Structure 1
Amino acid sequence: MKTIVYRDNGGPEVLELVERDVPAPGAGEVRVRVAVSGVNPTDVQARAGMGHAKNFPEITPHHDGAGTIDAVGEGVDPGRVGQRVWLFMAAAGRPAGTAAEYTVVPAERAVPLPDDAGFDVGAALGVPALTAHRALTVAEDGPRRLAPGALKDKVVLAAGGAGAVGHAVIQLARWAGATVISTVSSPGKARLAAAAGAHHVVNYREGDAAAAIREIAPDGVDVIAEVALGANLELDLSVLRFRGTLSVYANQGGVPVELDVRRTMVLNTRFQFLVLYTAGPEVLNAAIEDVTAAVADGALPVGEDHGLPLLRFPLDRAADAYRAVESGAVGKVLVDLP
C-alpha cells in the first residue's frame, strides 16, 4: 500500500511517500480502507516536534479521516466489514494514522458514518468537531450533551468562525438552538461564517467589536469558543456575561496572556482550557454520539457553500497539504487517497 511517513521532525520536506505492507488488525481493532484523510494544525505541530514527543522510529501522520472497514480483528463484530466510518485520533499513541491507503485503529475510533454523509464530511469531523463539542459543554450552568434545544436561550461566540473548529462551533451551536455570533478578520471570512450558520458576524477589525456584540447580546455572551486567547482576551471579557465561560482550545498568534485577576473574579469567569488527548473517555464518547447525531440531522455539511472550503491534495502531494495549513489557508485541507 502507499503511505506517507516521516522519520525525523522537521518541515514538510521530511514527509515521504513509500510502499508498505497492508497492516492486519489485531484484537479489538479494525482495518479501514481510507478514502479521505484530514489534516489539522496538530498534525503539523507533531511533525515539526512542537510539544509532541516522537515515540516511534517511523510515523504515518493524521488523526482524522473517513473510509470503509475492510477487515476486523478478534473480538470485533464481523458485521462491521463494509461499514462506512469516520475516524478520530487515529495516530494518538500509535505509529500510523490516516495518511495511508489502509490504517488500523481501535474499533471505537472508527465511528459509523450516517448514510447521507459523504467521506468529505467524515474526514472533516474528528479534531474540529470533537473540540467544538467540548467547548460548548463545559459551562457551569450549561448542558453536558448537545442536541436540538440543548442551548436554547444561550448566546455563543465563535472566535475565528472561518476556521475548522470555529466552523464546527457555529454549526453545533446552531443545531443545539443557541444564538450564534462569530468574530472574523475580513469580509471574505464573514461570508464563510454566515454560510456556516452564524446569526451575527462581527469583523473585529472594523469599528468597536465589543459594542457590536453587546448590541446583539446586551446581557453578555454565555460561552466563548476561543482560538487566540492572548489577542482576544480584552474583547472576550468585555462581552462575557457574569458566570460566563471561556473555552480555550488554542492561542493562535502566540500573544502572551495577561490576566486581570480581579476583573475575572468579579465576572465569576470560568476558564476551560481543553485538548482532546486528555479529555477522558466519558467526554469523548458523549461528543462522538452527539456529533454523529448532528451529522445524521444534516447539521455539519462542508464545502464553500456551507462555510468551509475544501482544499484537496493527492497523497503524493501531502507536503503541499501541510504547506497550505502552515500558510494559514482558509478552509479544510484534505488528502485524497488513490
Structure 2
Amino acid sequence: MRAVVYRETGPSSVLQVVERDLPEPGPGEVRVRLVRSGVNPTDWKFRAGMMSGYDEVTPGQDGAGVVDALGEGVEGFAVGDRVWLVLAQHGRAHGTAAEHTVQPVAKVVHLPEGADFDLGASVGVPAVTAHRALTASELGPARLGPGALAGRTVLVAGGAGAVGNAAIQLARWSGATVVATVSSPGKAALATAAGAHHTIDYHSSDVVEEVRALCPDGVDIAVEVAPAQNVGIDLEVVKVHGLVSIYANNGGDEMTMPLRAAFGKNLRFQFLILYTLDPGLVRAAVEDVNAAIAAGALRVGEEAGLPVHHYPLDQAAAAHDAVEAGAVGKVLLDVSGG
C-alpha cells in the first residue's frame, strides 16, 4: 500500500510517499481502506517538531473510508461498512495518510447514511473539539442536541475556521443564538452559511460594543481561538457564571488578564486539547457529532461555510503547507476512490 511517512521532524519536505506492507488487524482492531484523510493544524505541528518517539510516522488524525478486515473479537462492524475515524494517530505511529490503516475499534465510527467521505474525514478533530468547547459550562448540558442550548447565546471567535465552523453548526443545531467574529466580509459570508445568526468583523467594528448591542446581558459561552489577543473582550462580554472555552493559541502563547474582572463574574475558563480528554467525553462527543451528521445539521462545503480543498496523496506536503498557511476551509487528501 502507499503511505505518507516522515522519519524526522521538520518542514513539509520531510514527508515522503512510500510503499509499505498491508497491515493486518489484531484482536479488537479494524482495518480501514481510506478514501479521504483530513489534514489539521495538529498534523503539521507534530511533523514540524512537537512529537517524536517513533522511527517512522504516518500523519493524520482524521479520515474516512470502508472497513475491509476485522480483527478477532470485533463486534458491531462488518466488511464494507462506511466509517470515519477519530484521533487515529494519537498514541500510534501510523494515522490516516495512507491507503489503509489499522485502528482500535474505539476509534472507528459508523458514517451515517447519506454522509459522504469528505464530511467523514472533516469532523474528527474540529467537531469533537467544538463539542467539548460547548458542553463544559457549569450551567450547560453534558450533551448537545436539539434544544440543549435553547435560550443560550454562544460567541465563536474565528467563525470561518474549521473548529469555529463546527461550533457554529453544533450550537445552532442545539438551539443557541450564535454570534461569530470574523476578519473579512468573505469570512462573514462563510460564518453565515454555517448558521451564525450574527457576524462581527473585528477589523472594522468594536467587538465589545457590537456584542453588547446584540446581547445586552452578555453571552453564555465564548469559544476562543486567540486568547492572548481576545481575553479582554471575553471578560467584557461573557455573562456572570459564563464559560470561556480556549482551544488554540493563535496570536500568542501567553495570556495576561485582570483577575478581579473574572472573579466578579464567577467565570469559568476551560483550556482544552483532545489528546488528554477523558475517553468517556470523547465517546459522548462522537455520539452527538454522529447524531448531528445524521440530522443533516453538520455539513461541509461552500454552502456550509467550509470550502473543501482536495490534494492527491502524493501532494501531502502541499496539503500540510496549505493548512500551515491558514487555508480557509477544510484540506483533505484524496487517498483512493470510493
What is the TM-score normalised by the length of structure 2? Answer: 0.98
1:5 and 2:14 are equivalent in the alignment: no
Q: Deviations over 1:158-192 (max 9, x none)?
A: 11010000000000000000000000011111000
Compute the displacement of 1:267 (Å).
1.2
CA distance in 2, matches of 1:276, 1:251: 15
Q: Answer with 70-79 or 11-20: which moved more.
A: 70-79
Task: Look up the SS of the partner of 1:224 in the other structure.
Answer: strand
The 8 Å contact of residues 231 and 255 in structure 1, kept in 2 or not, is answered as no
Task: Look up the SS of the partner of 2:245 in the other structure.
Answer: strand
CA distance in 1, matches of 2:110, 2:248: 29
Amino acid at match of 1:111: V
The correspondence for 1:163, drawn from 161, 164, 169, is 161
Aligned to 2:275: 277
Aligned to 1:38: 38
CA distance in 1, matches of 2:121, 2:187: 22
The correspondence for 2:150, drawn from 152, 170, 173, is 152
Aligned to 1:186: 184
The 8 Å contact of residues 29 and 73 in structure 1, kept in 2 or not, is answered as yes
Q: Deviations over 1:226-268 (max 9, x none)?
A: 0110011111111110111000000102153111111110011
Aligned to 1:251: 249
Aligned to 2:332: 334
CA distance in 2, matches of 1:236, 1:179: 17
CA distance in 1, matches of 2:251, 2:237: 21
Number of corresponding residues = 336
The 8 Å contact of residues 72 and 78 in structure 1, kept in 2 or not, is answered as no
Compute the displacement of 1:145 (Å).
0.4
Task: Look up the SS of the partner of 1:171 in the other structure.
Answer: helix
The 8 Å contact of residues 85 and 124 in structure 2, kept in 1 or not, is answered as yes
Amino acid at match of 1:19: E
The 8 Å contact of residues 232 and 257 in structure 2, kept in 1 or not, is answered as no
CA distance in 1, matches of 2:251, 2:163: 16
The 8 Å contact of residues 65 and 117 in structure 2, kept in 1 or not, is answered as yes
Task: Look up the SS of the partner of 1:80 in the other structure.
Answer: coil
Compute the displacement of 1:280 (Å).
0.6
Matches within 5 A, 1:190-229: 190-229=188-227
Aligned to 2:121: 123
The correspondence for 1:307, drawn from 305, 308, 331, is 305
Q: Deviations over 1:179-222 (max 9, x none)?
A: 00000011111000000000000001112111111111110000
Aligned to 1:265: 263
Task: Look up the SS of the partner of 2:333 in the other structure.
Answer: strand
CA distance in 1, matches of 2:76, 2:191: 42
CA distance in 1, matches of 2:288, 2:78: 21
CA distance in 1, matches of 2:244, 2:215: 16
Aligned CA distance change for structure 1 residues 180 and 79 (closer, same or farther; 3 Å): closer
Amino acid at match of 2:69: A
Compute the displacement of 1:78 (Å).
7.6
Q: Gaps spanning 5+ residues in structure 1: where?
A: none
Q: Deviations over 1:133-173 (max 9, x none)?
A: 00000000100000100000000011101000000000000
CA distance in 1, matches of 2:327, 2:59: 19
CA distance in 2, matches of 1:166, 1:80: 34
Task: Look up the SS of the partner of 2:166 in the other structure.
Answer: helix
Matches within 5 A, 1:20-99: 20-50=20-50, 52=51, 54-77=52-75, 79-99=77-97
Query: Percent identity, aligned pairs only?
Result: 57
CA distance in 1, matches of 2:199, 2:98: 38
Compute the displacement of 1:55 (Å).
1.8
Amino acid at match of 2:236: S
CA distance in 1, matches of 2:315, 2:279: 34
Q: Deviations over 1:62-107 (max 9, x none)?
A: 0000000000101103852111001011000111000000000001
CA distance in 2, matches of 1:302, 1:106: 26
After TM superposition, the runs of 4+ consecutive aligned structure 1 residues lying more than 6 A away are none
1:296 and 2:277 are equivalent in the alignment: no
CA distance in 2, matches of 1:302, 1:10: 30
What is the TM-score normalised by the length of structure 1? Answer: 0.98
Amino acid at match of 1:14: V
Q: Deviations over 1:286-338 (max 9, x none)?
A: 10110000000001110011100111100000000001011111010000013
